[in-house]
Each structure stands twice: as structure tokens, then as C-alpha cells.
Amino acid sequence: MIALVVHGGAWDIPDDMADAHRHGVQKALMIGFAVLSDGGSAVDAVEAAITILEDDETFDAGTGSFLNLAGEVELDASIMDGRNLRAGAVASVQNIKNPISLARRIMEESDHILLTGKGALRFAKEHGMKSCRQDDLITEREILRWREWQKKKNMSVQEAFRKKKVPLDTVGAVVLDKAGNIASGTSTGGTPNKFPGRVGDSPIIGAGTYADNSVGGVSSTGWGEALIKVVMAKSVLDFMERNGGNPSKAALEGVNMLERKVQGYGGVIALNMEGEIGMAYNTPRMARGYMTSEMNQPWVAV
């Protein structure tokens, strides 16, 4: 069995953006699954799928990410290998087109897990990764959105999130490969108009990303501050372990906990070691999809 599940963010995705989200998720699934079918590892497939989503301007990851309060792009990402619980992550990094690839490099070529800002960029350069200009990551859509946010100074972040209208196109993937190994990853540009240096759940191992071959893998999306408070990804994995390995029940329990304990909202994707899929969210929509070796075409929904 090989399996891949992907998300492209949980929020009130407008009708006129639904097709773009659907097509982006489908492309990520097809590319990631091709890597798996060719014998690639779970980590390979996670990186390949998320790279597609980072390069797609539809999503809040890589190119097309939200601008912070200063009008700049700061990116977060993490990846985890369920074979050995090794992980790599970056936070508030600038001038890197695909932060998921940098997170993987940190996991595989350093003794660290999380690098931030200038340190992450220095690590990238010292390990042969190309940097890019801020302009390469900024789109006209996000400039216009940023200008609108400057007019909302009287609205608190918490109030804005609870209206469920804040776009949250964080992306993620969880994979089971032919060798029975599980990996997961998450990537984001954070929240619109965030304070410079703000870090959400996506690069935090246990909150945004977690993978353990003995149980499964999880990737989270949504209001990062709330997801951190409940350690969302690891909590869902723990629910799965306790319920006998059911990812659907675990995902739903995690989302219910998120709302009950911290009035948070968002979603999760989960995968167990048998290749069974779980997805849950408490927002109007979540871009999501999956494919397994028992399917001829991926299943995608928004």
C-alpha cells in the first residue's frame, strides 16, 4: 500500500477560488504519487507534493504568501520522518522559494530541528540552496490584500480569525511509502498582516506536523495560535493510537478539542500505517484530497 493525503488550507474559500484550490491539490497529489510509484520515499513525496503547492500562487505558501505588517514575506515550514522521528523546520525565513526543501535539508544535514530568519537563510546558502528576491514571492493579489488589512487596525487578530473569513491557505502532506514509512510536512506564509517574526503552528513539530511509523502522520492548518495551544498534530496522533488506529475518528476528535478548549478553528489530515485516511475541519471549507494504490484517480474536494 502507498498513500498520499494533501491539504491546501481550511477557511471560507470563496466560490471563485474553489477551482484553483481543487486543481492545485490535484496536481500535488499526482506529482507526489508519481514519486511514490517510482519507488521514492515518503520524505521524497512529501517534499515533491508541497513544492508544487508552494509554487502555486493560489496558496499561502512560497510564492503568493501573505505579506506581514511590514509588507514582506516570511515563510515557515516543517517536515518529519516517521522512521526515526527526525525533523527539520524553518521559521520567519525570507528569500527562499521552497522552504519545505530547506526544512528537509536541516533535518538531513544538521543536528538541529528548527532554524529561524537570518540563520535559516545562512544555512541555506552554505548548503548550496539558491535564494530569491522578495519580489519573486510577492503577487499583486497579496499587495492589494495587504493594503486592505491596513484599514482594519481596529480589529483584533482573534476577532478576525473567529469570523472565519481570514484566508488560511497553509499547505501540507502526509505520505505512506512502499517500505511502510510515514512522513508529513507543512508549509505556510503565515497569517495576513502578521507582526514581523510571528510564528504559527506550521514549523512547530507536534503542533503543525508529526509523523511516527508506529502510528501514522498528521498535518494541521488553521489558526496557528490555537493549534499550538492544543499541540494539534501530536494530539491527533495520540487519539489515533488510543482508538486503535482510526484516522477519521482521531481527526474529528482533534478538531472538536480545538474548538472546545480554545475556541479555535482549522483542520487536519491524518494517515495511519495501513494507508487509511482521515480528514476533519470546522471551517466552511478545506481544500483536501488523497490517493492510494487502490485508486485510479485522486479524490479531491474543496
At 152 the pLDDT is: 75
At 164 the pLDDT is: 59
Residues in the chain, pLDDT under 70? 153-165
CB 142, CB 191: distance < 8 Å = no
Sign of CA dihedral 32, 176, 58, 97: negative
User: How far are the Cα atoms of 44, 78, 79, 164, 292 from residue 204, in angstroms, in the given order?
Assistant: 20, 7, 10, 23, 27
pTM over 0.75: yes
Cell numbers representing residue 31 in the block: 506529482
User: How far are the Cα atoms of 1, 164, 169, 183, 244 from residue 186, in angstroms, in the given order?
Assistant: 23, 21, 11, 11, 25
Interval 128-187: pLDDT, tens: 999 999 999 999 999 999 998 888 766 555 565 565 567 788 999 999 999 999 999 999
Contacts for 165 with CB less than 8 Å, ≥ 6 apart:
11, 12
Which is nearest to 174 in space by CA: 9, 50, 62? 50
At 150 the pLDDT is: 87
Q: What is the span of the domain harbouring residue 262?
A: 3-301
Calpha distance 20→85 (Å, rounded)? 34
Count how many domains the chain has. 1
Continuous segment of H or E residues that includes residue 6: strand 3-11
- Is there a catalytic annotation at residue 170? yes
What CATH code is carried by the domain that includes residue 41? Answer: 3.60.20.30
Q: Which of the following is catalytic: 170, 191, 283, 292?
A: 170
CB 291, CB 33: distance < 8 Å = yes
At 156 the pLDDT is: 58
At 138 the pLDDT is: 97
